[in-house]
Structure 1
Amino acid sequence: MSITLTSYGPKTKAKSLGLGVFDGIHKGHQAILSQCDSLLTFNPHPVTILNKAITLERLTTIEEMTHYIPKLFVLEFNQSIATLSAHDFLNKIILEKINPDTIVIGYDYHFGKNKEGTPEIFKQWCNNHNIPISIVEPISNNTQIIKSKAIRTQLKEGNINQALDDLGHPYLMIGTVVKGDNRGKELGFPTANLMFPTEKLIPQHGVYKASITIENKHYKTMLYIGKRPTFNATTPTVEAFILDFKGNLYDQSICLYIEHYLRPEKKFPNKESLIKQIHQDIHDAYGH
């Protein structure tokens, strides 16, 4: 059987290993991460292999995950891995490939064929191998346990600021700057048009307060996601107006952090009305 395990970060032994998919690195994941120096995740997302009819947009790509986690193990999830028994998964991957000193899992962590492995089975296995294990209880917001699935729904069609609160950090999107139609420049707000991996979840259309990191420097940013209805365009676009920045970013990879949802997209009667609203958006976001 082929096991493809890729590691990112320091080439040191995993002292404390957390296990899970960790899509979003939300507050529940952070409760696990706070006890770990390394994580094991899976790529592609297991649900897309177990059910071919499902396509899933990722909150966090593997590249983005490395921004949150000092040492990351990525196990290629395929049919061979999916059919491993729970004990084979523990013995052939956790013990033989990683061999951590301690283990941290969530209350709902299941593993092995047909999810036969439970936290209790994992705990028994750890006891047999003299490996300390910590099982982390769920983290909730005011109404429910925080889950990646709910955050995806909120970002696409619900309360975006609730999703950002559940994440516990700005929503990171690593994208590449591509050429646009220069319409922002004509309006006096030159924008960077951004392209993202096909599996990356793009939040619902609207205007956002954001920031962008360029060469380790943070810049205040206004972000627009939408179809530019004022100009009768039909293709969705992601455009960032980076305050106090001048320079050519074409073909560069940049880190965009969505901090707050301001308003939905809107069709304006003319360019002047749009320009006035952009000034208002900047004021609402930054007070100037």
Structure 2
Amino acid sequence: MTTAFSVIRDTTPANAIPRGCVVAMGNFDGVHLGHRAVIGAALRMAELHKTSALAVTFEPHPRSFFSPNTPQFRLSDEAAKLRLLAGTGLAGAVVMTFDKGRASTTAQDFIHHDLIERLGISGIAVGYDFHFGKGRVGSPSLLANEAPRLGIEVDIQPHVDIDERPVSSTAIRMALAEGQVTEATEMLNGPWFITGEVIHGKKLGRDLGYPTANIRLNNNCGLKHGIYAVRVGRGNERFDGVASFGRRPTFDNGAPLLEVFLFDFKGDLYGQALDVAFIAFIRDELKFEGIEPLIRQMDDDSAKARAALAAAPDAFPKLGDID
């Protein structure tokens, strides 16, 4: 029987927080290979300690707090991040609100109050470059120096490379901005995905023989405009499809919209939440002089998307359920 993934917040009563856990601490945007190395270290430590492992993470992302007027392309919002963390084998996550009070908390106070007194941790795993506390004074080396006195174990994970290229959330954002979803998938240990509600559109795809499920992405989404092979999840169901993300230059050049055509599917999806995983980039967004050349191109896009999806039969992010 699998234990449900639980979420602990600042408002969770102290008596509801399990004591003696090992934690993996980080922002975990995207839960990429570097993050998974930290999580793996925490899981191994927890097994040796015969206890559970939790993630400690922060919402909103500290970068958003410190630079509220700077657009932030997040790889995974809070809900997506928790579902990804739940798929790693962790028992739960501690979501700490990052506000003015937490930003002004010294690293020493954070260690003693949040980690030792409130959570009662027995060990902690962090990445080599993770910093915390007022002025980002808290560091892996500070944790390691404090460990003997506090009676906790500390594991510091080095950077993770793929073909001598460092894995990072920034590198993944750059890859997605260039349509390099294969490279992003490698760094994420699975395809990048979004979750969104299907909304009503102008029904243009229906008239072209390609009825689409339309989803409005976050305004700060930095994904390259273009055509993609996608795999779509609705609960435990999976569907293959082709998607366009962009401004529809042939029609209105409007606000960016994700339009997903599901192969071999009939039904009403309005108001439903879909997970859309991006498997392959097909082509740039183009403007067509007329409907006929557009339909011919859509037929070609669909054939290429089917081929890409056939080559990646199991490609979908490993997501867990949240208690």
Q: Secondary structure at the match of 1:42?
A: strand
Distance 1:214 1:181, change over 3 A: same
Task: Name the structure 2 match of 1:154.
Answer: 175
Task: Name the structure 2 match of 1:181.
Answer: 202
CA distance in 2, matches of 1:157, 1:198: 17
Alignment of 1:138-287 (within 5 A): 138-157=159-178, 159-198=180-219, 201-287=221-307
Task: Name the structure 2 match of 1:54.
Answer: 70
Bigger relative contact order, structure 1 or 2, given CA contacts below 8 A and separation 6+?
2
Assess if the C-alpha contact under 8 Å between 2:122 and 2:151 holds in 1.
no
> Normalized against structure 1, the TM-score is what?
0.90
Bigger Cα displacement from structure 2, 151-160 vs 222-231: 151-160
Equivalenced residues, count: 283
CA distance in 2, matches of 1:275, 1:11: 57
Amino acid of the structure 1 residue aligned with 2:72: L
Superposition RMSD in Å: 2.2
> Normalized against structure 2, the TM-score is what?
0.81
Structure 1 residue 85, shift from structure 2 partner? 0.8
Q: Does structure 1 residue 28 correspond to structure 2 residue 34?
A: yes
CA distance in 2, matches of 1:214, 1:14: 37
CA distance in 2, matches of 1:175, 1:140: 31
Amino acid of the structure 2 residue aligned with 1:33: I
Q: Secondary structure at the match of 1:23?
A: coil
Amino acid of the structure 1 residue aligned with 2:27: V
Q: Secondary structure at the match of 2:84?
A: coil
Assess if the C-alpha contact under 8 Å between 1:38 and 1:69 holds in 2.
no
Q: Which residue, out of 99, 103, 110, partners 1:78?
A: 99
Provide the identity percentage: 30
CA distance in 2, matches of 1:267, 1:32: 45
CA distance in 2, matches of 1:155, 1:217: 26
Assess if the C-alpha contact under 8 Å between 1:164 and 1:260 holds in 2.
no
CA distance in 1, matches of 2:94, 2:136: 20
CA distance in 1, matches of 2:144, 2:11: 25
Structure 1 residue 251, shift from structure 2 partner? 1.2
Assess if the C-alpha contact under 8 Å between 2:230 and 2:243 holds in 1.
yes
Assess if the C-alpha contact under 8 Å between 1:6 and 1:75 holds in 2.
no
Assess if the C-alpha contact under 8 Å between 1:206 and 1:261 holds in 2.
yes
Task: Name the structure 2 match of 1:103.
Answer: 124
Assess if the C-alpha contact under 8 Å between 1:6 and 1:73 holds in 2.
no
Q: CA deviation digits over 1:30-61, x for unaligned, max 9?
A: 11122333211111111222234433121111
Q: Secondary structure at the match of 1:219?
A: strand
CA distance in 2, matches of 1:6, 1:279: 52
Assess if the C-alpha contact under 8 Å between 1:174 and 1:255 holds in 2.
yes
Structure 1 residue 202, shift from structure 2 partner? 4.5
